[in-house]
């Protein structure tokens, strides 16, 4: 099954590629991979929430935002690669969680990204990963995710 067919089966419509907020491009193709820049959970050009996870933002909401980040990353990768069906799988996910003092649930938050990539790609969605707590993220975002995708 193609990636576009799988997305349709799951009822997932990829968003428009998010406009960069600084001096970078959303994704770069190199050596059989597509590397995405860090993706924030933009929905229609706006962040759904700002603040730190474990304080202003719940871990459950942050997990949903991490899912959005992964879909934004897939949209950026597909745009750079010439279409979503050019994406064959996932190599690595890097997740960053703006964390309140004492919050240690970063892996659970970034599961929002890993879970949706697994739903889309099946076994080809299994990946290496980092889930890192940080003091601040751009624009006050609670999460940011970068992905390295495999090309077909």
* pLDDT tens by residue, 36-60: 999 999 999 999 999 999 999 999 9
Answer whether residue 1 shows pLDDT above 90. Answer: no
The pLDDT value given to residue 102: 97
Helix, strand or coil for residue 139? Answer: helix
The pLDDT value given to residue 75: 98
The pLDDT value given to residue 21: 84
Rounded Cα distance between 56 and 72, Å, is 23
The pLDDT mean for the chain works out to: 97
Number of C-beta neighbours around residue 5 at 10 A: 10
Answer whether residue 25 shows pLDDT above 90. Answer: yes
CB 37, CB 77: distance < 8 Å: no
The DSSP bridge pattern shows strands 87-98 and 128-134 to be parallel
Rounded Cα distance between 2 and 7, Å, is 9
The pLDDT value given to residue 58: 98
Rounded Cα distance between 63 and 109, Å, is 4
Rounded Cα distance between 26 and 35, Å, is 9
Residue 89, token pair as written in the block: 């799988």
Rounded Cα distance between 105 and 128, Å, is 18
Side-chain-side CA neighbours of 103 within 13 Å: the count stands at 28
* pLDDT tens by residue, 86-120: 999 999 999 999 999 999 999 999 999 999 999 99
Nearest to residue 133, comparing CAs of 109, 113, 114? 109
SS3 content of the chain, % helix, strand, coil (to 5): 40, 30, 35
* pLDDT tens by residue, 122-136: 999 999 999 999 999
């Amino acid at each position: 099954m193609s990636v576009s067919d799988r997305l349709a089966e799951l009822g997932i419509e990829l968003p428009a590629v998010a406009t960069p907020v600084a001096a970078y491009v959303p994704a770069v193709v190199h050596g059989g991979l597509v590397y995405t820049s860090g993706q924030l959970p933009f929905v229609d050009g706006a962040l759904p929430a700002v603040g730190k996870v474990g304080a202003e933002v719940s871990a459950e909401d942050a997990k949903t935002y991490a899912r959005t980040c992964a879909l934004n990353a897939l949209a950026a990768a597909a745009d750079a690669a010439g279409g979503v069906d050019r994406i064959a799988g996932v190599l690595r996910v890097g997740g960053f969680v703006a964390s309140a003092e004492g919050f240690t649930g970063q892996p659970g938050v970034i599961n929002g990204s890993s879970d949706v990539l697994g739903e889309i790609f099946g076994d080809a969605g299994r990946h290496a990963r980092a889930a890192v707590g940080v003091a601040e993220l751009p624009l006050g975002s609670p999460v940011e995710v970068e992905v390295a995708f495999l090309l077909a």
